[in-house]
Structure 1
Amino acid sequence: MNLQRRQLIQATAGTALLGSLGLHSAHAQGLEQVKIVNGFPAGGSADVTSRRIGEKLGGSAYTKNAAVVENKTGAAGRIAVETVKNSAPDGATLLLTPYSMMSIYPHIYKQLSYDPFKDLVPVAMASLLTHGLAVGPMVPATVKTVKDYLAWAKANPTLANYGSPAAGSTPHFLGALLGLNNNVELKHVPYRGSIPGITDVIGGQLASMITPHGDFLPNHRAGKLRIIATSGKQRSPFVPDVPTFAEQGFPDLVVEEWFGFYAPAKTPAAIITNANQAINTALKEKSVIDSLALSGMVPLGGTPEEMAKSMKYYYDFWNPLVKKIGFTAES
């Protein structure tokens, strides 16, 4: 869906919602304080999305004050999901997560501690991102393309590793598919978020990393690492000089991902509506758009129904790929 179409849907939905809620909702006091929980460290894409949007929620029918953000790292993002699942369904706690935890994890964890379709309720998609493959000083400067990288990896099997922000995440599986589909063994190194892995790439302890490409931008521009491919359908506007995987002959690695807000199951529909409106309004503010751009993301928004539909699409999309990769939590 193009940006203009999405904006039209958002505007129409917002008008309809306001009309149905009437004056009572328009003058509602809102919750005193809201908390946004995400499963990744400060400084990464999830954290930036949480904070920039959370800052703008105050003064709405949803909440009086700006939201506070809690980084509940660990268990590849699952601790954050569990925290929100077990929170009171009163709208005071939201989860901000990439779709990996909802659409991929059910395929890899036989005893997942939450059911993404029953224990949580979609509120709004927040931001769209593409992933990138970047290499650091461990990889020679002559490696400029994905084919160069695969040739280097094949010639240097003891060094051929890549990091991702979590085992079972979309970046993890992009790397797994890259190696599997090209008969190159790439060792996966999971991290707790992007930033620790990027630090190791820059320091020469890790050859490469696949993660949201926005997390690479400052160091890419400073020449401390090199983004050699991005996973979008088109080139990223933030690194237009970097060709996509598809342009380089790897169309199987075209993947875009979104961050989305969820509430605990049984949260009242009126609160979901207020939260959705507040998030959509925040996403239209220039300061939020500019902040997301610095991290290589664009705002999404939309209705809970659109989010639920996208979540189910990616659940079905990843099922056969996870089986092909053969990864489970016990792998």
Structure 2
Amino acid sequence: MGSRRLPLTHLLRNSTYPRKRGEVKKNNNDIAGENTMTKAVWAGLIGILALTGAARADDYPSHPITIIVPFAAGGPSDAMARVLAERMRTTLGQPLVIENVTGAGGSIGVGRAVHSPADGYTISFGHLGTHVANGAVYKLNYDLVADLEPVVLLPSNPMIVVSKNAVPATSLKELLDWLKSRPSAATAGTAGAGSGSHIAGVYFESVSGIKLQYVPYRGTAPALNDLIAGQIDVIVDQTSNSINQVRAGTIRAYAVTDDKRLSSAPDIPTAEEAGLKGFHMTLWSGMWVPKGTPKEIVTKLNAAAVEALNDPAVKKQLESQGLEMTPQDQLTPEALGTRQKAEIAKWWPIIKAANIKVD
């Protein structure tokens, strides 16, 4: 039978093998010397590991980075991620590749990121729906706060109430009258149970007294396609997803859920202006990495994202989509972490009271 291998920890704690018969027992000075040597070896190993981690951070990134977008290509999250990825590539010197991982309101994509190595090569891109609401809707095998490290708070997306052109309403008041005349019959597209569009729809119901029949999709891009085609009646959508179709005249807009009109669409009234009080909701976005990612790497990613957001060309492109830029003092990992926790405290009770469940 071959000799048994001893683990490193055993060898370090027992720096000499067991004494043979007749071997002289060591005195206290010998033992003290061995303990000192053992401590020195441990200190050396810890130092090597620290230097290795620092070297990894210094060399980062050495190959392409994956950004997991938990919704379909062509949607608002995908569009924002691609704009930022292209500019961040210039700063980081490596490509940032978008991977669309859809399903379960974005929770599958977030889970993929959570369970990836904490080395900075996988970024979770998401928003209030994926990184707040899903925790109250789905039985997740991860913790949205404990298992993720915030990187940067990204531009926010006010919601907008839109309908297919066949709906016989030209104002929010007329739309509400039409919806109230067919309770639970009018269809509303969502990006899945617990998604931003679903929460916004439920919120819309609670402040207006209407009842909607929800139709879940794998993202708001396919939902918008069906709205244009007349297959569903309404969506409380992200502005950046719908604004171009509103401008093109393929769908109709009634109100935005911000406290002020959009600079990119000043002709669309706020919900307050249109007569619906208390309907305020903005879908902020962010980037996260798996918990345990070295702080130096998080700092590099944050700096690259901030540089991208401050690029005039990027800013113009995002604002043209109806996005509201994040204030400079909020472009930090800490600001994203604080916002996420505050939104969990706000929205989880609302979601649970509305009995939102997986379809």
The TM-score with structure 1 as length reference comes to 0.85
Residue equivalent to 1:221 = 247
Match of 2:312 in 1: 286
1:16-55 residue pairs with structure 2 within 5 A? Answer: 30-55=61-86
Deviation digits for residues 267-287 of structure 1 (CA, Å, limit 9, x no counterpart): 011100111111101111122
CA distance in 1, matches of 2:58, 2:204: 53
Q: Distance in 2 between matches of 1:257 and 1:36?
A: 19
Q: Deviations over 1:36-87 (max 9, x none)?
A: 1101112211111111111122353xx3213111111111101110110111
CA contact (8 A) 2:246 2:252 kept: yes
Rg larger for: 2
Deviation per residue, 1:14-52 (Å, 9 max, x gap): xxxxxxxxxx99985633211111011122111111111
Task: Report what 2:112 is aligned to.
Answer: 83
- Provide the residue aligned with 1:8 in structure 2: none
Q: What CA distance in whole angstroms lies between the structure 2 residues aligned with 1:207 and 1:29?
A: 48
Correspondence for 1:267? 293
For the pair 1:184 / 2:241, whether they are aligned, the reply is no
Matched, 1:129 2:160: no
1:280-319 aligned within 5 A: 280-300=306-326, 302-319=331-348
**Superposed displacement of residue 156, structure 1:** 3.2
Q: What amino acid does structure 2 have at the position aligned with 1:139?
A: V
8 Å CA contact 1:130, 1:257 repeated in 2? yes
Q: Which runs of 5+ in 2 are unaligned?
A: 1-54
Q: Percent identity?
A: 29
2:170 alignment partner in structure 1: 144
User: Equivalent of 1:120, from 138, 148, 164?
Assistant: 148
Match of 1:172, SS state, is: helix
Q: Relative to structure 1, is the Cα distance of residues 238 and 27 closer, same or farther in structure 2, using a 3 angstrom cutoff? A: same
**Secondary structure of 1:129 counterpart:** strand
Tell me the amino acid that sits aligned with residue 285 of structure 1.
Answer: D
Q: 2:319, 2:182 → 1: CA distance?
A: 36
| 2:130 aligned with 1:101 | yes
- CA, structure 1 residues 159+326, in 2 after alignment: closer, same or farther (shift >3 Å)? closer
Higher RCO (C-alpha 8 Å, min separation 6): 1
Displacement of 1:108 after TM fit?
Answer: 2.1
Question: Structure 1: how far apart are the matches of 2:176 and 2:95?
Answer: 46
Letter in 1 for 2:82: R
Which amino acid in structure 2 is aligned with residue 189 of structure 1? V
Do the aligned residues in 2 keep the contact of 1:129 with 1:256 (CA within 8 Å)? yes
Aligned to 1:326: 355
| Whole-angstrom distance in 2 between the partners of 1:234 and 1:80 | 33
Q: Distance in 2 between matches of 1:326 and 1:112?
A: 17
Q: Residue 234 of structure 1 aligns with which residue?
A: 260
Take 2:90 and 2:58, find their aligned partners in 1: how far apart are those partners? Answer: 11
> Partners in 1 of 2:133 and 2:252 — Cα distance?
28
Q: How many residues align?
A: 302
- Structure 1 segments, 4+ long, off by >4 Å, are 24-29
Residue type at the aligned position of 2:66? K
Contact 2:184 2:211 in 1 (8 A): no
